[in-house]
Amino acid sequence: MRRKPHQISNSADFHERLLTERSQIISGREGGLELLATSENLALDDQAALLHEQFVALQQRGMNQQKLKLIDEALARLERGDFGMCEHCGEALPRKRLSVIPWAAFCVACQEGFDRERTLAEPTLSLVA
C-alpha cells in the first residue's frame, strides 16, 4: 500500500515519551520474578496464593515485553519519518490517539479489525461435553 507523506509535529515530544516509557519498563524488568524462586518450604495453604502471584508476575512480564517491542517499533518509525501513519491502511493516526498510546501502529478501525480477527481465531473453552 502506498503511504501518504506525513510529518507529525512535535515528534520530539513523542520521542521523549516513548523513551521515558521504555526506561520505566526496563528499570522494572525483573520485578516480581523473585516470586518464582520462593515456593519451597511453603505451607500448603499458602501455595495457591503464591501460584497466583507467580502467574500474575509472568503475565505482567509478557505484557511488558510486548509493549517494549511496540515502543521500539514506534521509535524506528520516528527515525524513518513514518510515525503517526497506520501501518495497514496508511492513513494518519489522530493526534489524540497518539497522545494516549504513542506506540500505536494502527488507526482505531484497523486495530479493531485485527482484534476482532484475533478474538475469532482464539480457541474457546467449552464447558459442555
On average, the pLDDT of the chain sits at 84
Q: Name which CATH class applies to 11-121.
A: mainly alpha
CA–CA separation, 99 vs 21, rounded Å? 13
Half-sphere exposure at residue 90, Cβ-oriented, CA atoms within 13 angstroms: 5
What pLDDT, on the 0 to 100 scale, is given for residue 110?
97
Q: How confident is the model at residue 129 (pLDDT cuts 50, 70, 90)?
A: low
SS3 of 3, please? coil
What pLDDT, on the 0 to 100 scale, is given for residue 15?
95
Under a CB-based contact definition with an 8 Å cutoff, are residues 17 and 78 in contact? no
Render pLDDT for 73-115 as a digit per residue (tens, 0 to 9). 999 999 999 999 999 999 999 999 999 999 999 999 999 999 9
